[in-house]
Amino acid sequence: MRDVAEGAGVSVATVSLVVNNKKDARIGAGTRKRVLETIRELGYRPNALAKNLVSGSSRFIGLVADAIATTPFAGQIIHGAQDEAWKHGFVLLVANTEGDEPVEKDAISMMLEHKVRGILYSTWFHRPTQIPAALQETDFVLVNCFSPDSDALAVVPDEVHGGREATDILVRKGHRRIAFINATIPAPAKDGRLQGYREALESAGIAFDPHLVFDAYPDQEGGYGAVEELLKRDVTAVFCYNDRMAMGLYDGLKQEGLSIPDDMAVVGFDNQEVIAAHMRPPLSTVALPHYELGAAGVRLLLGVDEPAGSPVLKLECPPVERDSVGPITLTGSRLL
Amino acid sequence: MRDVAEGAGVSVATVSLVVNNKKDARIGAGTRKRVLETIRELGYRPNALAKNLVSGSSRFIGLVADAIATTPFAGQIIHGAQDEAWKHGFVLLVANTEGDEPVEKDAISMMLEHKVRGILYSTWFHRPTQIPAALQETDFVLVNCFSPDSDALAVVPDEVHGGREATDILVRKGHRRIAFINATIPAPAKDGRLQGYREALESAGIAFDPHLVFDAYPDQEGGYGAVEELLKRDVTAVFCYNDRMAMGLYDGLKQEGLSIPDDMAVVGFDNQEVIAAHMRPPLSTVALPHYELGAAGVRLLLGVDEPAGSPVLKLECPPVERDSVGPITLTGSRLL
DNA sequence: GTGAAAGCGCTAACAT
DNA sequence: ATGTTAGCGCTTTCAC
C-alpha cells in the first residue's frame, strides 16, 4: 500500500480512501485515476488481515459440522451457508468435527481466535444437541439441530409440515388406506412426520388406523423387509420415513410382482437426488431444505432475518412429485 | 494480552513468550505459572488476526470448488482437505463457484487478500481445466483436475488402475466374457477405464472383443437402457462405467427375470455409498479416492509430499468387493 | 529471565 | 481535497 502511495505520489490515507471508495471523502478525479492505475501496475491487493485487525472483527463466519462426509446433506448446508455468507461479504471457515468433542472444542477456539462474526453449529440429521460452552463466547445459530433447554437461535426443518405434505400427495390422488413406515430410531423426524401423517389424514376425513403404522430401520434393508407386513395391511399407498426405505421397498414390491404406482403408490422423504430422481419409476418425495437451512442460518446470524416469535425457525419441506404415485385404478388396486 | 500482562505483572513480551512457549526464551517457572493463571482467569484468547499480520501470512488454505452441492463427492474432497490441513495447523477457507467465472475470480481474490498459504482448486469430476490467472499469484494444487498445457501440481484418480481393478474383480471369479458399458461423455474416466479394462483382459490372456464394449449415458436410465444390447452379447459379467448405471442395470436385469450375481455378475465404479452398499445385492465396485484427493492435495501444497517425477499425482482406486459378483455357476450362467 | 520498543498493513480522526 | 498520525494485538530484536 505504501508502494502504491509513493508510486502515485499521494499518502497511504488517500490510497485507503480510493480503495474503499469512501463516500464522504472527496478525492480529486485525477488523483483517484492515478491511484487506481498505480494499483493495477503494481498488482496491489489489500491485506485483509490488516484490515480486519483494525476493525477488530473479521468477515468470517464459522461453520462447524459434525459430518461433512457421511451424506450429501452436510454439503448442501455448507453450500447454502456459503452462498448466503458470500452475498453479505462474508467468507466461510469450515471445520469438520466428526462428532469428536475435543476436535469440536479446538475448532470453535480457532474460530474465536479468528474473531469470526459468528458460528453456525450444524448437525447432519435433525436432532437435539448440547451447546458447547465455547460457543457462547460469540453469536451463534444452531442449524438442523436445537437445544431443548435454552432459547438459542436455531433453524430446523418442519417435520410435521413435511409429514403432512407427503401424506397429502397420496390423499390428493384419492388414496384412503395409506400406510406409514416410520423409523425405529427416536428423532424429531420420527415424531414429527407421524404427526404430520395424522394431521393430513384428519384433514381429509380419514380415520387414523394404528395398524397402518409400523416401524423399520430407516435404510434400504428396512424398506425391503417391511414389504411382507405391508402387504397384510390392504393398503393402496405407503409413505416411507425416507427415500432409502422407499428404495428397498421398491425392490420388495417388484419381487412380489407388484407394480408402482399401479399396485402400490409410494412416497419417500428427504429427496436424495442420486436416489429419488432416478428410481424406476422416479420417486415422489418431500425435500429436506438443507440448502435453505444453511442460508437461513447465516441470515439469522447476521440479523437480516429476525426470529419471529420462537427462537427456533422451522423451514418448510416442499413436496417433489414424480411418478411413484398415481390415482387408484380399477385394474391396479389389489383391493378392488 | 495487555490485560494479561498487567494482571500478571509482566510485560506483553513475556506473555507472548509464554503463550507460544518459545524454546529458546527462558521464563521463570513462577512467572510462567502466574501468566498461565491470569490467562485462564481472564479467559484470554490470542488474536489470530494480529498474529497473522505480524507473520505476514496466515494459517489458511483456500479450497475453491466448482460444485459443493451436486454430489457427495465434493464433500469428500473438502473433508479430506480439512482433516489434513487441520493436522498441520491450517484452516480451510471454502468457496463454491458453481462453475461461474466471475465468482471464481472473486473467490480467489478474497483468498489472496487473506494471505492464504495456498489454494486447492478442485472440480467435482475428473477433467482437464484451465488455470485461472489469479491462481498463479500463490501456491496452488489442482485437485481432481489437471492442466494439459502446464506443469502445475495436480492430484487425480488413476482411472486406468481403477478400470483394471474393476475388471479384475470379475476375472478373478473366472469370468471371461466381460462386457464394459462405457460412458457416452468424453472424459479422462472414459478413456482411462477402458484402457484399464483392456489391460486387465490382456493380463488374463483374454482377447479384447470390441463388440463387448458399448456406450450409454452414465446414469440409471443409461444402465437400464443398456440391458437389451447387453443380453445379445452372451456375456456372464458386466463392468459399468459407474454405480448409477449399475443401479439402472439391476432394474433391467431383474425385470428380465435374471438374478445377480448368478445370471450376471456386475461391477460398478465410484462407490457411491448411499447407492452401492445398499443395492440388492450390494454392489461390488471401485472407489474414487475423493477423501484422499483432498488430503493429498494439501500435502502437496504444504510440501510434505514431494511430487515424484510427474507433477500430476495419480491416486489408486481401491476395489470394494460386495455381493454382485460370484463365480460362474453351472446353473446360473446363461451360456452353459 | 524479562522489559522496551519497533513495526506488520491498514483505518480513522484530525490537520492542513 | 489530501497528508499526518495514532493505534489495532501481536512478535521480535535488543537491552538490562
Please say if the pLDDT value at position B303 is more than 70: yes
Nearest CA in chain A to B89: A110
* Whether B1 CB is under 7 Å from strand D: yes
pLDDT of residue B336: 46
Q: What is the mean pLDDT of chain A?
A: 93
Please, what sign has the CA dihedral across residues A188, A193, A198, A204?
positive
Distance CA B101, CA A249 (A): 43
Q: Using alpha carbons only, what angle is made at residue B190 by residues B186 and B196, rounded to the nearest 5 degrees?
A: 155
Q: Which of B91, B251, B254 sits opposite A110 (nearest CB)?
A: B91
Mean predicted confidence (pLDDT) in A125-135 = 96
Distance CA B63, CA A95 (A): 13
Q: How many CB atoms lie within 10 A of CB A249?
A: 28
pLDDT of residue A72: 74
Model confidence, pTM: 0.92
Q: What is the mean pLDDT of chain B?
A: 93
- A112 touches B at CB < 8 Å: yes
Task: Specify whether the CB–CB gap between A300 and A141 falls below 8 A.
Answer: yes
Distance CA A245, CA A217 (A): 8
* Whether B16 CB is under 7 Å from strand D: yes
Please say if the pLDDT value at position B31 is more than 70: yes
Parallel, antiparallel, or unpaired for β B91-96 and A91-96? antiparallel
pLDDT, tens digit, 9 for 90 and up, residues B73-88:
778 899 899 999 999 9
Please say if the pLDDT value at position A283 is more than 50: yes
Mean predicted confidence (pLDDT) in B220-248 = 96
Q: Which of A315-319, B19-23, B175-179, B314-318 shows the lowest per-residue confidence on average (mean pLDDT)?
A: B19-23
* Whether A33 CB is under 7 Å from strand D: no
pLDDT of residue B328: 83
Q: Which of B92, B274, B279 sits opposite A94 (nearest CB)?
A: B92
- A247 touches B at CB < 8 Å: yes
Shortest distance, CA B299 to any CA of chain A (angstroms): 18
Omega before B281 within 30 of 0, i.e. cis: yes
Mean predicted confidence (pLDDT) in A304-319 = 94
pLDDT band at A292 (very low <50, low <70, confident <90, very high): very high
Q: Which of B53, B91, B272 sits opposite A274 (nearest CB)?
A: B272
pLDDT, tens digit, 9 for 90 and up, residues B96-121:
998 899 999 999 999 999 999 999 99
pLDDT, tens digit, 9 for 90 and up, residues B124-149:
999 999 999 999 999 999 999 999 99
Shortest distance, CA B75 to any CA of chain A (angstroms): 6
Q: Which three cell numbers stand for residue B57?
A: 501470512
pLDDT, tens digit, 9 for 90 and up, residues B250-297:
999 999 999 999 999 999 999 998 889 989 999 999 999 999 999 999
Shortest distance, CA B199 to any CA of chain A (angstroms): 31
Task: Return all residues near B3 (Cβ < 8 A) that are at least 6 apart.
Answer: B42, B44
Distance CA A312, CA A152 (A): 8
Check residues 52 to 91 of chain A and report those whose beta carbon is under 7 Å from nucleic acid strand D: 53-54, 56
pLDDT, tens digit, 9 for 90 and up, residues A206-260:
999 999 999 999 999 999 999 999 999 999 999 999 999 999 999 999 999 999 9
Mean predicted confidence (pLDDT) in B287-310 = 95
Q: Which residues of A touch B86 (CB under 8 A)?
A: 95
Interchain contact, A48 vs B113, CB within 8 Å: yes
pLDDT of residue A336: 46
Please say if the pLDDT value at position A68 is more than 90: no
Task: Specify whether the CB–CB gap between A284 and A321 falls below 8 A.
Answer: yes
